[in-house]
A and B are shown apart, each in its own frame.
Chain A
Amino acid sequence: MATTFEEHPDRKTALIDSAPQEEQGVRRRDFLNIAAVAYAGVGAGVIALPLVNSMNPDASVRALASIDVDVSAIEPGQAIKSVWRKQPIFIRNLTPQEIAEANAVPVSSLRDPQTLAERTKEGKANWLITMAVCTHLGCVPLGAAEGENKGEYGGYFCPCHGSHYDTAARIRKGPAPLNLEVPDYEFTSDTVVRIG
């Protein structure tokens, strides 16, 4: 834009003898043209911000950022699926055997090395709370409900592309790159967990 102002279009006929223009004056006046265009460009950029920002999560979505779940009814060996931020999460009450299985795995052999203790809260090692979203391409893995395929490692199995998770929901086999994500949560009482 700015350069085009500098090339004054040819005037085919001189109509009026325009006053001789000083070099200095010409430059100062061209600066005004460039400033106006640049300023308008800044304005257009600023006005684009609310348009873009309107596509971010709105206030009603943000308001659902945390949920309280009562876990008192989940027996050892059982898991439930809950919903947080419109995404499923697994809340699993591990049996001592499952905990032992998870702890028996050498951490260095894992694709995404993490111990079970790192994935649970202190004193609540039996409560495994993870996103129910496969880290490969976002399918919901099986293994929470009674009778579902838990995969070769007794945790979760994603049927989309065959990712197997162990009892600590760590990736053991298949295309997924990472363990199932552990969301931020805290126990607000012995039986109620606040996620988010």
Chain B
Amino acid sequence: MVRPIGILAGLGFVAVLLWSLVWGAVAFIQEPPQPTAEHEFHKHPRDAGLSSAGLLGKYDRQQLQRGFQVYKEVCAACHGLKYVAFRDLQDLGYSEAEVKAIADQWAIETPSVNPETGEAATRKNLPADNFPSPYPNEVAARAANNNALPPDLSLIAKARHDGSNYVYSLLTGYRDPSPELLREFPDSKPGQGLYHNPYFANLNIAMPPPIVSEGQVTYTDGTRPTVDQMSKDVAAFLTWTAEPKLEQRKSAGLASLVFILVFCFLAWGAYKNVWRGEPH
């Protein structure tokens, strides 16, 4: 009984699927899907060549500090870093005292309560605090930014496809829309308050170009602050904020692989040993 019922049910599913297929094919022929501007002109991120990439890549501490400086001077006014604590900056090679000073002098203070009146207040940041958000809430953030929400950057390098390279490419990718794009898709001309960027998902981003000129940030380590260099550095910094344990992970991974490989050899030997002379 199972088989006749099964065959009937099978024929049913196949028939409905083929029916869907026929309709889909008819629709496909009658109205072929229109190419979209995103499909044709969106670009995959360019390789930033960060030292943290690759199987055993490590962070370049100097670069992370430069990137932090770019974040502090260029990005921090609009973009938060709410999952990162000031104390984490010691990973970048800052001393405890330096971290304390950075937290103390941070332009945005941490929300707190006035101990006398109980009213909302702010206080200076301590190393144990996370980076305070630049806006008290989403409404305030949108109101200050032409209704666009500047995303928190803590995890941006993992929250976008190929995120580290994406940050670098996006920051260096601002340009006028190409003539071909405007010819094929006149609608994709950036509207009021939008900027063309082929690395952004829908090509039109609300963030004005943040890094525009050489020397926008003054590096103390003698590195030339070109637009490309600053973009690379902040991409490196944001890779670190998203994956602060990357180095521990890779070194633990290497040790594990060696250990497991040795186990594989031993286990292989034991296996061959146990089965010795036993036909199978």
Contact = CB atoms under 8 A, between A and B. Distances in A.
A and B touch in the complex (CB under 8 A): yes
A69 B128 CA distance: 16
Interface stretch (A28-36, A127-135, A141-149, A150-158): A28-36
Interface stretch (B62-70, B164-172, B181-189, B268-276): B268-276
Contact of A33 (B85, B127, B263, B274): B274
B140 interface: no
Interface in A30-63: 30, 32-33, 35-37, 39-40, 43, 46, 59-60, 63
Contacts of A46: 259
A22 to B, nearest CB: 13
If over half of B's interface residues share one DSSP class (helix, strand or loop), that class is named, otherwise mixed; here it is helix
B259 A32 contact: no
B85 A43 contact: no
Nearest to A18: B277
A16 B274 CA distance: 15
Interface string A2-30: 00010000000001101100000000011
B196 interface: no
A36 B270 contact: yes
B87 A32 contact: no
Contact of A43 (B127, B263, B270, B279): B263
Interface residues of B, number: 18
Nearest to B255: A46
Interface in B221-280: 259-260, 262-263, 266-267, 269-270, 273-274, 276-279
B128 A60 contact: yes
B267 A36 contact: yes
Interface in B184-227: none
A40 B263 contact: yes
B213 to A, nearest CB: 38
A39 B279 contact: no
B278 to A, nearest CB: 8
B266 A39 contact: yes
Contacts of A36: 263, 266-267, 269-270
A74 interface: no
B269 A16 contact: no
A44 B134 CA distance: 46
Contacts of B262: 39
Contact of B128 (A30, A33, A64): A64
A18 B263 CA distance: 28
Nearest to A28: B273
Nearest to A35: B266
Given A16-B279, A33-B274, 7 more contacts: A5-B274, A15-B278, A16-B277, A33-B273, A36-B266, A36-B267, A64-B128
17 contacts: A16-B277, A18-B276, A30-B273, A32-B266, A32-B270, A33-B270, A33-B274, A35-B266, A36-B263, A36-B269, A39-B262, A39-B263, A40-B267, A59-B87, A63-B127, A63-B128, A64-B128
